[in-house]
Amino acid sequence: MTQMPLPTRRSRHPGPIVTILVALLVLAGCASATRDGQVALLTGDNTDAVTYFEAALAKNPTNVTALVGLGIARYRLGSFAEADRALDDALAQAPDLPVAYLYLGLSALRRGQDDVADAAFARFAGLGVAPRLAAYIDRSMRLLHTVPASDELRAYVADGIADQAAWAGEVTDAWNAANYARASWYNDTRVYYVVRGCRCR
């Protein structure tokens, strides 16, 4: 029997919302290792993201943002056990962190631990995520339970879930970043406001 080839996924590249988000973070004066790690993560520089987040955690081992970022970066690099450790450490600080359960589920899915993935995704869905995203994850897992799943298929399904989650959260993330950038701009003592004369006729 000829195996049907899986549809190819388009190469990942920063979309317009991600580009705007990165620009806002830079304008906000991203000087800390955690913020540098977030920018690297958003632009797909996962190796650099690991370096930045580890530097942040060397100063503050309970930094939840850095722990989650490290977990995501490690997951994307295929270091699933290390990703799980970082995400579990984040949950020890913030037990109801949806993104940590999402990536714990993805990590388990990639390793063929479907029962563990089901439990993580159920916890994720129970924390108030978008119903459409929860339904997409449920359909994806039901598919994996009914067919022999190769590593390639598991990677494909996991990428689909991650993409759906990114789309579900992009607008909110961009809005939060815009608010953060606005607040940082007005509170930055290095910024000088000069009233320019009106040349209206």
pLDDT of residue 99: 92
Number of compact structural domains in the chain? 1
In a domain, 73, yes or no: yes
In a domain, 10, yes or no: no
What CATH number is attached to the domain comprising 110? 1.25.40.10
Digit-by-digit pLDDT tens for the chain (201 residues) are 444 444 444 444 444 444 434 443 443 443 499 999 999 988 889 999 999 999 999 999 999 999 999 999 999 999 999 999 999 999 999 999 999 999 999 999 999 999 999 999 999 999 888 889 999 999 999 999 998 889 999 999 999 999 998 887 743 444 444 444 444 444 443 333 333 344 444
For residue 191, what are its two tokens?
A: 């910024």
In a domain, 118, yes or no: yes
With tokens 């063929």, the residue in question is: 112
In a domain, 74, yes or no: yes
pLDDT of residue 188: 43
- The alpha carbon torsion through 155, 156, 161, 162 (nearest 10 deg) reads 60
pLDDT of residue 16: 41
pLDDT of residue 23: 41
Best CA proximity match to 102, nearest among 79, 121, 74: 121
Q: How far apart are CA 80 and CA 46, in angstroms?
A: 14
Q: How far apart are CA 21 and CA 124, in angstroms?
A: 24
Domain extent for 160: 16-187
Q: How far apart are CA 63 and CA 65, in angstroms?
A: 6
